[in-house]
Amino acid sequence: MIQVYHNNRCSKSREALQLLEEKGQQLQVIDYLKNAPTADELRSLVQKLGIKPEQLLRKNETIFKAQFAGETYTDDEWLQIMAENPILIERPIVVNGDKAVIGRPPENVLAIL
């Protein structure tokens, strides 16, 4: 089953979800703002994505600019910061087994079907 870390208020997240639904995929939609992933879950996601935790951050968010911009943190610290502030997590993230992609642009999600 494909997991989609989704924010319904985000147009790109909605577009990616629609693409997957149109392909008839069985989905587990995770509203990550209500059910924030733990630091360990985020560690697994960045490993599947093949990126550093800092690359998963939404740096244009107000909270990032106010509290974290210009600061240096370890990978573990970034994971904990995102677990505590899920609005900072880039979206959508689509996971299929041991592979994951960020749906920006939304068509990226088709690569792991």
| Annotated domain spans of the chain | 2-112
What would the pLDDT profile of 27-83 be if each residue is shown by its tens digit?
A: 999 999 999 999 999 999 999 999 999 999 999 999 999 999 999 999 999 999 999
Of 10, 49, 100, 109, the catalytic one is: 10
Which one is the CATH code of 2-112: 3.40.50.300, 3.50.50.60, 3.40.30.10, 3.40.50.740? 3.40.30.10
Q: Helix 75-84 vs helix 39-49: angle between axes, to the nearest 10 degrees?
A: 120
Is 10 considered catalytic here? yes
